[in-house]
Amino acid sequence: MKLLRSIAVGLLSLGMLLAVFAGAIYALALIVEYLLGSLSAFEEELSAALVATGGTVLAAVATVVYNQRRTHAREIAEAHRPEKVRVYNLFMATMVDQLRKTKTAGGSPLNAVALPPELIDTMFSFKRDLIVWGSPGVIRSYHGFEQKVARSSPKQAMLLFDDMLRQIRKDLGSSNWLLQRGDLIQLFLTDNLRELPG
């Protein structure tokens, strides 16, 4: 019953929206027809001047609207940046700490059998923050990392982590232009990642 009601409300809303849109198009067509009829009554020079002036005004309004939208988007991005940095720093600190622990223990950093409880808690906190602050690229990259890391070789797991680091850099506005896959994770390794098996 609720589903049927929801569908009916949705269809009614869509119908009303289409009616308003059709009315706006019809009104615009009437205005254009009136203006074109009025222009034919004037002399050619005056008509050309009116068309040029109208075009200039339209271009100016479009430019102002475009610039305001870009400024607004930039302000939003700048307002979100500190929170993104906090979330990404927490994730990177946790992962780097995990890499450091396995380096001193001599194990594989991302294929541990049992994860420590504090790491699990941190990852859940990161997921919660990622939903709010992460870009779609970072979210997709993290999802791929989480889904594939358990079935991956240590080299592939590190490359998945590197992919995520590159998406984080991109989200924060840093360039990845000359970086190859594996360059970021290589900063934490003593062995050459490209020489590792797998």
Domain boundary among 73, 108, 123: 73
- Domain closes at, from 24, 54, 73: 73
Q: What is the pTM of this model?
A: 0.56
Report whether 161 contacts 145 (CB < 8 A).
yes
Do 88 and 174 lie in a common domain? yes
In this predicted structure, the answer to whether residue 112 has a pLDDT above a threshold of 50 is no
**Helical pair 154-171 and 136-148, crossing angle rounded to 10 deg:** 170
Residue 192's contacts (CB-CB under 8 Å, 6 or more residues apart) are 186
Same domain, 43 and 89: no
Do 59 and 40 lie in a common domain?
Answer: yes
| Cα–Cα distance, 194 to 192 (Å, whole number) | 5
- The first and second tokens of residue 160, run together, are 């998945």
Pick from 193, 91, 177: nearest CA to 133 = 91
Do 44 and 89 fall within a single domain? no
Chain-centre distance for alpha carbon 197? 34
pLDDT value, residue 79 = 82
Same-domain pairing of 49 and 24? yes
Please tell me which residue, 21 or 108, carries the higher pLDDT value.
21
The domain boundary, picked from 36, 51, 73, lies at: 73
CA 54, CA 126: separation in Å to the nearest integer? 53
d(CA 152, CA 108): 11
120-145 pLDDT, tens digit per residue, is 778 888 888 888 888 999 999 999 98
Q: What domain count does the chain have? A: 2
Asked whether the predicted pLDDT for residue 29 surpasses 90, the reply is no
Q: Same domain, yes or no, for 51 and 117?
A: no
Stated as kind and residue range, the H or E segment containing 145 is helix 136-148
User: 76-80, 147-151, 165-169: lowest mean pLDDT where?
Assistant: 76-80
CB 87 within 8 A of CB 129: yes
Specify whether 109 is located in the same domain as 56.
Answer: no
Residues 83 and 147 in one domain: yes
Residue 72's identity, in one-letter code, is: H
Mean pLDDT of the chain: 79
Domain match, 64 and 96 both: no
Judged against a pLDDT cut of 50, whether residue 113 lies above it is answered with: no
